[in-house]
Structure 1
Amino acid sequence: MKLSIYPFAILFLLFASCSGDDDVFDPRIQNPGNGNGACSFGGDWLIPRSNVFDGGPGCDGIPSLDNARFADQLSINFLTENSLLLAADDGLGKVKLYPHNILDWHEIINDEVDNQALAIVYCPLTGTGIGWDRTFGGETTSFGVSGLLYNTNIIPYDRKTGSNWSQQRMECVNGERAGETPATTNLVEVRWKDVSELFPNATVVSEQTGLSRNYTAYPYGDYRTNDNSIIFPIDTPDDRLPNKERVMGVIIDGEAKAYRFGSFSPNGWSLINDTFAGRELLVVGSQNPETMAVFDRELPDGTLLDLRLIDTDNTEFLTDQEGNVWDIFGRHLRGPRFGQRLNTPTAMMGYWFSWGTFYPGLEVFGE
C-alpha cells in the first residue's frame, strides 16, 4: 500500500534537510503554544536519533492535563455515539473514562486511578492509549508531551528527570532512566454509545479543562480513515492489513501479536483461547459493542482457568470452573479467589501500521 505524507509536511521536511537538522514542522497542531517545558534531548538514544522527529510545537506545546475534572455521563454533551473513550478501573464498582476527544488535544492526562499515580498516555497519530505508573524508585513524577515522535508515535518525557520514553516501544529511550520500562495498566477502549450499558456509573473527563479547545472537533482532518496518510516516516511499512485498521496488540517480552475485531462475533461477546510467548491467554471481544480485552488464564499458583462468559450481567463478566466471577478489568467479584485478580499482559488498541513498524513481522491471530 502506498503511503503519503501530507504535502505541506513535505515542504518542511525539505527545509529541515537543507538546514542540516532532522527537525520537522508538525501540521497537526493549530495552536502550538510556546513550548516552554523542561525537556532535554541530548545524550545517547536507544533508538536511531535520525528517526526521531521534532513535531514542531515544542516541549509542552501540547499541554498535558494535570488536574482533569470529571463529570457524570448525563452532563456530557460534546461526544457523539461513535466517540471513542478509554476506560480505567478506579476501584471496585468505579470506572473513569478518558475521551479521545480530549486526548486528541492533550495526549497525556496525569491522574490518580484506584489509589495509583497513573498517566493516561495516548497518541492520536497511532491511536494507542495505555496507563503508565508515575512512580519510579519511590518517587512520583508526571509526564509531559516532549513534541518528539518516533515511528510517528508519541515520546512522552517525565518531569522528574527529563528522560524521554517511547510509548509503543514501552521503554525509556533517552536520559537518566534510559532502558527502564513503565509498569502498565491496560485500558478498555469503548464507544460512547455503549458506555451506559457497560459502565453505567462511570465518570467522564469533562471538556471544562480551562483551555480553549474545540473538543467536538477532530484536529487531524481525515487522518483516522485515510490509509494513505501517515504524517511522519515509519521504519517498516507492513501492508498485510489496512494501515488505519484498529487492532489490539498484546506485548509480552518484547514480542507482539495482533487481534482483529473480525475474529469476534458481530453481535455480542465471544472468546478466543490462545497461546502466545509461552502464555495461555483469553482474548474477549465483540464487534458490537466494539471492544477487546485480554487476560492470562494461568494463575500464579499454576491453576489454568477455564473462563466462560456470563451473558446476563455486564458487571459480572466472566466465570470459571471454580465458581469465581470476574469483571471486564479482571477484578475478582465473588467466589473462592477473594482478593485476587486476573493478570493482564500489556495490551492496547492502535492502528495496524504502528504495530507493523514497531514489531516487524508480528503474528496476526487467524491470518
Structure 2
Amino acid sequence: MSLAHRVIIGAMAAGLLLPVGAAAENARSLQKEFPKLDVTRSAISLRELQSGGVPRDGIPAILDPVFVPVREVTGLGEDEPVIFLVGSCGAYAFPYRILIWHEIVHHNQCGVPVAVTYCPLCNTSMVFDRRIDDSVLSFGTSGRLRNSDLVMYDHQTESLWQQFTGEAIVGAHVGKALNVVPARIEAWRLFREEHPDGRVLVPPVWGRSSYGQTPYEGYDSAPEPFLFQGKMPRGIDPMARVVRVGTRAWSLTYIRKNSPVLTADGLRIEWREGQNSALDRSAISRSWDIGNVRVIRDGTNVAYSVDFAFAFRAFYPEGELTK
C-alpha cells in the first residue's frame, strides 16, 4: 500500500485530513525527478503543484492490460462501478476496484490508443486519446496533485498533464490538450447484461493490492477534500457529486430529483439506482448507492464525468452549476 494511501487512511481514522506532503513544488525538485521536463514552459505557477506523498510512479499505471471475457469474471459485486468503452471491436470494461489502485490504464480501443484514468480524490474518471500531433504518448502518475487532482506525466517528454481537463500544464506540450473519448460509468451487472460478449480488465500479475477494497474508506463523508487549499464552492457540499459535461455541471442530487430523465442543453441525462461508490466502505461492493448516470445527445454517448463539487469549481470557477 502506498504512502499516499496510508496517509489518507490514517487521516480518516483520526476524523480529519492531514496536510502531509503539502509542500509546494519548485523547478529544482521537479527537474531532479523529471530530467527531460522543460520547466521553462508552464501554464501554471509551479507552487500550485503539491506532493501527494508518493514519488513518480509510486502509484503504478497499467501499461499492458489483460482482459478476460465477461463469462470468466468472478468476484465482482453486482453493483460495483466500471467505466467502459464500446466500439466496432467490442466492449471493454475497467473496474474501479482496479482503477483505484493504478489510476491510469493504457488500452487500444478499435485502433485508438487511449488512457483510462481515475482520480479518487476528485472522483474524476476521464478517457483520453493518447495521440498528440504525430506522436502516441504513454502516461504515468507524477506523484503530484493540483487542486487535489491527479497530475499525469508522459514518458516521451515528461510534460505534466492535468487529469481533470486533459491539458498539458508544464513542459514541451504546454498549450495542447488531449481529446476526451466518450465512455460510460455504470454498475458491473448493467455492463454484463448489455455486453455479454464484452471483455473486462483483470489485475496485473505483478499487482499486490487489495483489489475490491478501497484505500479511501470514508472519503465520501469527509468534511473537506484531501490536500486542497483552494476556495470551497458556495451553496453545495464540497464533497457532493456533480455530473460534468464540458464546463457545465448538474448536482447528482438535482439529477436524482428529476429522474429518470433530465433534459438540458440538448442533453438527455438518465439516472437509475444501483451503483456502489468506490469511496465509502472498505469493501466497494458494500458501499452506498450513488446510482448510474448516462449522458446522451441525439442518441449518441457524450463524454462526461462525475466529480466532487470542489474540483469542478476549482477548475471551472466561472462554469455553470445547477444545484
User: Shared fold (TM-score greater than 0.5)?
Assistant: yes
Q: Which amino acid aligns with 1:260?
A: L
Once the two structures are TM-superposed, the CA of residue 348 in structure 1 deviates from its matched residue by 1.2
Output the CA distance in 1 between the equivalents of 2:178 and 2:53: 26
Q: Which amino acid aligns with 1:232?
A: L
Once the two structures are TM-superposed, the CA of residue 185 in structure 1 deviates from its matched residue by 0.5
Once the two structures are TM-superposed, the CA of residue 109 in structure 1 deviates from its matched residue by 0.4
The question of whether the paired residues in 2 share the 8 Å contact of 1:261 and 1:286 is answered with: no
Query: What's 2:307 paired with?
Result: 350
The question of whether the paired residues in 1 share the 8 Å contact of 2:241 and 2:251 is answered with: no
1:64 pairs with 48, 61, 66, which one? 61
Once the two structures are TM-superposed, the CA of residue 239 in structure 1 deviates from its matched residue by 4.4
Query: What's 2:292 paired with?
Result: 291
Asked if 1:271 corresponds to 2:261, the answer is yes
Once the two structures are TM-superposed, the CA of residue 187 in structure 1 deviates from its matched residue by 1.7
1:1-367 correspondence to structure 2 within 5 Å: 6=11, 9-10=18-19, 12-13=21-22, 16=23, 22=25, 40=37, 42-91=39-88, 94-223=90-219, 225-251=220-246, 255-260=247-252, 262-264=254-256, 270-275=260-265, 280-288=266-274, 290-297=291-298, 326=299, 330=300, 344=302, 346-360=303-317, 362-365=319-322, 367=323
Q: Deviations over 1:98-123 (max 9, x none)?
A: 11111111100011012110111111
User: Which structure: greater helix fraction?
Assistant: 2
* Partner-residue secondary structure (3-state), 1:102: helix
Q: Which amino acid aligns with 1:287?
A: E
Query: What's 2:5 paired with?
Result: none
Q: Percent identity at matched positions?
A: 21
Q: Deviations over 1:8-52 (max 9, x none)?
A: 733554xx4xxxx558xxxxxxxxxxx987773733421232121
Q: Deviations over 1:125-167 (max 9, x none)?
A: 1111111111111211211111111000011111121111111
With over 3 angstroms needed to count, the CA separation of the structure-2 counterparts of 1:39 and 1:109, relative to structure 1, is: farther
The question of whether the paired residues in 1 share the 8 Å contact of 2:187 and 2:274 is answered with: no
Structure showing greater radius of gyration is 1
Query: What's 1:335 paired with?
Result: none
Output the CA distance in 2 between the equivalents of 1:239 and 1:81: 36
Output the CA distance in 2 between the equivalents of 1:43 and 1:103: 32
Q: Which amino acid aligns with 1:272?
A: L
The question of whether the paired residues in 1 share the 8 Å contact of 2:186 and 2:292 is answered with: yes
With over 3 angstroms needed to count, the CA separation of the structure-2 counterparts of 1:77 and 1:38, relative to structure 1, is: farther
Q: CA RMSD in A?
A: 2.8
With over 3 angstroms needed to count, the CA separation of the structure-2 counterparts of 1:265 and 1:115, relative to structure 1, is: farther
With over 3 angstroms needed to count, the CA separation of the structure-2 counterparts of 1:221 and 1:229, relative to structure 1, is: farther
The question of whether the paired residues in 1 share the 8 Å contact of 2:34 and 2:158 is answered with: no
Q: Which amino acid aligns with 1:226?
A: S
**TM-score (normalised: structure 1):** 0.71
Comparing 74-83 with 175-184, which one deviates more in the overlay? 74-83
Once the two structures are TM-superposed, the CA of residue 83 in structure 1 deviates from its matched residue by 1.8
With over 3 angstroms needed to count, the CA separation of the structure-2 counterparts of 1:75 and 1:242, relative to structure 1, is: farther
Once the two structures are TM-superposed, the CA of residue 222 in structure 1 deviates from its matched residue by 1.5
With over 3 angstroms needed to count, the CA separation of the structure-2 counterparts of 1:57 and 1:39, relative to structure 1, is: farther
Which one has more relative contact order, counting CA pairs under 8 Å at least 6 apart?
2
The question of whether the paired residues in 1 share the 8 Å contact of 2:62 and 2:204 is answered with: no
Output the CA distance in 1 between the equivalents of 2:18 and 2:140: 24
Q: Which amino acid aligns with 2:138?
A: S
Once the two structures are TM-superposed, the CA of residue 63 in structure 1 deviates from its matched residue by 1.0
Unaligned segments of structure 1, at least 5 residues? 24-34, 298-325, 331-341
Query: What's 2:6 paired with?
Result: none
The question of whether the paired residues in 2 share the 8 Å contact of 1:39 and 1:146 is answered with: no
